[in-house]
Amino acid sequence: MSDAGLSALRVEYRADSTATLLDRPDTLAVLGFGATETGDTDPRHLCVPLRPLSSKAPREHWTVGAEVATGRDGDLRWAAGGGWRFIAIELDEARFGGIEAASEHAYTLLPAHVAACPERHLQRVWNYLDAINAGEGDQERYRLFCNGRARGLVARGINHYPAATAIGHHGPRGLLQVYALCATQPGHALENPRQVSAWQYPRQYGPTAPSFARAMRLPNAALAISGTAAVTGHASRHHDDVAAQADEAFTNLASLLERAQLPAFDVHSPLKVYVRNADDVPAVEAALARRLHAAVPRVLLQGDVCRSELLVEIDGWRFAS
């Protein structure tokens, strides 16, 4: 144990089978990408319906230096140990009549569960929904998702936001997945000097500004980095130029690391790269080769960014070297 009673959280991409990873008592979460794996009901396992675009399709493996307990609470499941907690919520929008009400439901359950458990500090959330850019103007599904998320958080009086990602999947219609990392100690939210804070975005991006911080300095001093795209100020940059967008995203990431006084990404910095169009993979790979050390673990996933003009987004972790 270190860091005020927190055990060591690690996140790694691994080629091992889900069963092998779940066999470890210190496994907090296993995230699979792509096709749904059936036959196991372990609360620590979540299949994210984002198709891997790289040849290897590893799993994301979270471990804590402690024994993990698990449970279920209605639509929500959890795993906890060593001061950390993984929470996953999977909803079928049809039960709620649409994405906005489903999102509000998820963001009612999540903070209520968090408030009642020892790991009561929400650090990082991932949100995956289908057809994220469908709908015109304020009816765009991402904007409806933001409305529901904010309503749930406001009802709990939450005005300090976790780091987050919101990406469109091409899996089962109406499937909303929200998963999160919490800890017994608070983290410290970080903003990016190159970007307007998302919760302060002007009205043109929707009726409810997105409720997330650009990054979260976790209580173990690692940095959990939100989905980062080619946004400067509040504007999307380099429409129709995926290579320039990837470069801009890396400049944003470098700015965040500088703000956090952390060195460049290395082998302890697993990144997820969401690419809208599979045809753009070579251009994105080239940008990654230019901007990232070869040792930086990364997975490329097919995912839709929440503004239709954005073609690539990157999220990840920066653990201590």
Give the interface with ligand 3EB as residue ranges (CB under 6 A). 127, 164-166, 198, 210, 212, 226-227, 229, 231, 306
Token duo for residue 180: 């999160």
Task: Report the alpha-carbon distance of residue 201 to residue 34 in Å, rounded.
Answer: 32
Contacts with 139 (C-beta within 8 Å, 6 or more apart), sequence order: none
Radius of gyration for the alpha carbons in the chain, expressed in angstroms and rounded = 18
* Closest to ligand 3EB by CB, 33 or 145: 145
Question: In the complex, which residue's CB is closest to ligand 3EB?
Answer: 227
* Residue 313 beta carbon to ligand 3EB: minimum distance, rounded to whole angstroms: 6
* Closest to ligand 3EB by CB, 210 or 270: 210
* Closest to ligand 3EB by CB, 28 or 166: 166
* Residue 75 beta carbon to ligand 3EB: minimum distance, rounded to whole angstroms: 20
Contacts with 37 (C-beta within 8 Å, 6 or more apart), sequence order: 18, 45, 47
* Residue 145 beta carbon to ligand 3EB: minimum distance, rounded to whole angstroms: 8
* Residue 230 beta carbon to ligand 3EB: minimum distance, rounded to whole angstroms: 9
Tell me which residue has tokens 């009400």: 101
Crossing angle (nearest 10°) for helices 242-259 and 281-291 = 30
* Closest to ligand 3EB by CB, 37 or 191: 191
Taking CA atoms, 90 is separated from 64, 102, 172, 270, in Å, by 23, 10, 11, 24
Taking CA atoms, 115 is separated from 44, 106, 119, 181, 295, in Å, by 20, 14, 8, 13, 38
Give yes or no for a contact between 56 and 15, defined as CB atoms under 8 angstroms apart. Answer: yes
* Residue 156 beta carbon to ligand 3EB: minimum distance, rounded to whole angstroms: 17
* Closest to ligand 3EB by CB, 123 or 226: 226
Return the H-helix or E-strand segment holding 99: helix 99-115
Instruction: Look at residues 115, 252, 243, 94 and name the one whose alpha carbon lies nearest to residue 174.
Output: 94
Task: Report the alpha-carbon distance of residue 249 to residue 229 in Å, rounded.
Answer: 5
Task: Report the alpha-carbon distance of residue 198 to residue 26 in Å, rounded.
Answer: 35
Return the H-helix or E-strand segment holding 165: strand 163-169
* Residue 284 beta carbon to ligand 3EB: minimum distance, rounded to whole angstroms: 16
* Residue 243 beta carbon to ligand 3EB: minimum distance, rounded to whole angstroms: 18
- CB burial string 26-60: b at 16+ within 10 A, e below: bbbbbbbbbeeeeeeebbbbbbbbbbbbeeebbbb
* Residue 279 beta carbon to ligand 3EB: minimum distance, rounded to whole angstroms: 21
* Closest to ligand 3EB by CB, 53 or 306: 306
* Closest to ligand 3EB by CB, 154 or 320: 154
* Residue 207 beta carbon to ligand 3EB: minimum distance, rounded to whole angstroms: 14
* Closest to ligand 3EB by CB, 68 or 246: 246
* Closest to ligand 3EB by CB, 227 or 303: 227
